[in-house]
Amino acid sequence: MNIEYFNLNKILLLLIGLWPYKQSYFTRFQFIFLSSILTTNLIVQIKDSLDQLLHIYNEIRDNNEIAIMTKCGYNGKTCYLGVCTVFFGISIVLFWPQISNVTLPTNASRLYPLLITTEYFIDQEKYYYFIMFHFYTTACIQGLVIIGTGSILVMYWEHIVGLFKIASYRIERAMNIDMLRNINQNHTLICKGLICAVNIHLQAMNLTNYFLSNFQTMMFCLVIFIVGLVSFNLFRIFQIVSSKENIVDLLYPSVCATTTILYIFIDNYLGECVTNNSDDIFTSAYSVRWYVASLYIQKMILFLLQRNSIVFALKTGGVFVASMQCFASIFFIPADKTSVSYFTVIYSTQ
């Protein structure tokens, strides 16, 4: 193969220190330096988003509102523990052949190949256990990084949902029966309550838009990568089944496709929760006894209800909207937008 065909790729990879041949100390330093910039930039953006959320949370004084945020935090923690359980369960299933090779030794050689083909420039039979330790430690670290950052995002969105719920609670509290009995006396308190509800609803939307503005490019690329990943794994599963290869080889692509779909499902589910709870403030405004209030308060609620004509949703790159409908359109319906269709194209061009 003529290496000249890779000249353009070589130039691009050399710029970021990823060209695998003739690596110097400068190239390694370049890679570490650029990776550090990318990592610190991500950390700073996440920290800034969390700081803004904590600032709003620290201003909450009502016990019922604190209880709402506590419940949302508990839901996020439960989701995090569930993901961790699934992750460790999948890890044990995938690593079991190598684990059994170490814990249950026999006289015969039972060296298993790695899940991903990797070239080590040492004797792989002699240093098999070292290679296995290095490979799977790296895989575990990558998994923990994904789960760690993902858990922060889950907790972040759960607290955003909590802010939307507080907005609905404030409307119901401002327009409760006791406040409306003495409408003239409590007119100012009702107005302040509605203003507080609109204010925290606006803060929740601003936090959401701020987060998306920082990460929408990354999330857009992630969606495209996930669709491609599922398509190729489905193609690999079909190859194994059609060629009647070792059934054990189905394990890795099946688990990879399943976990990927689960990951995107959680993201879209959280987006659906944000949209639904944002709309609940308008449902609460419809449900209260606004017709008993003064004309001035009725006009305030009317302006609030008019805002309901614009649906608030999490958009990625202006194309994907985080919702269960988007999840279904990516993986299931309609046929021209699914990962299955991309799998069909791959199979037809093999």
Task: Tell me if 296 is assigned to some domain.
Answer: yes
Task: Tell me if 25 is assigned to some domain.
Answer: yes
Buried b (16+ CB within 10 A) or exposed e, 314-339: bbbeeebbbbeebbebbbeeeeebbb
Q: Are residues 7 and 150 in the same domain?
A: no
pTM: 0.78
pLDDT band for position 67 (cuts 50, 70, 90): very high
> Considering the chain, what is the average pLDDT of its residues?
76
State the pLDDT at residue 105: 55
* Cα gap 30→18, rounded to integer Å: 9
Q: Are residues 8 and 95 in the same domain?
A: no
The count of domains in the chain is 2
Domain that holds residue 126: 63-348
Q: Are residues 6 and 116 in the same domain?
A: no
Task: Give the least confident one: 41-50, 138-147, 277-286, 329-338.
Answer: 329-338
State the pLDDT at residue 238: 78
Task: Tell me if 27 is assigned to some domain.
Answer: yes
Question: Residues 6 or more apart from 179 whose CB is under 8 A from it?
Answer: 186, 189, 190, 193
* Cα gap 3→207, rounded to integer Å: 49
Q: Are residues 174 and 81 in the same domain?
A: yes
Q: Are residues 212 and 328 in the same domain?
A: yes
Q: Are residues 268 and 132 in the same domain?
A: yes
* Cα gap 280→169, rounded to integer Å: 10
Task: Tell me if 50 is assigned to some domain.
Answer: no
Q: Are residues 288 and 197 in the same domain?
A: yes
In a 13 Å sphere around the CA of 135, the CA atoms on its Cβ side amount to: 20
Instruction: Judge whether 308 and 280 are in contact, CB under 8 Å.
Output: no
- 158-190 pLDDT tens trace: 889 999 999 999 998 888 866 777 777 778 888
Task: Tell me if 291 is assigned to some domain.
Answer: yes
Task: Tell me if 304 is assigned to some domain.
Answer: yes
State the pLDDT at residue 163: 92
3-state helix, strand, coil in the chain (%, to 5): 80, 0, 20
* Cα gap 329→170, rounded to integer Å: 36
Q: Are residues 17 and 82 in the same domain?
A: no
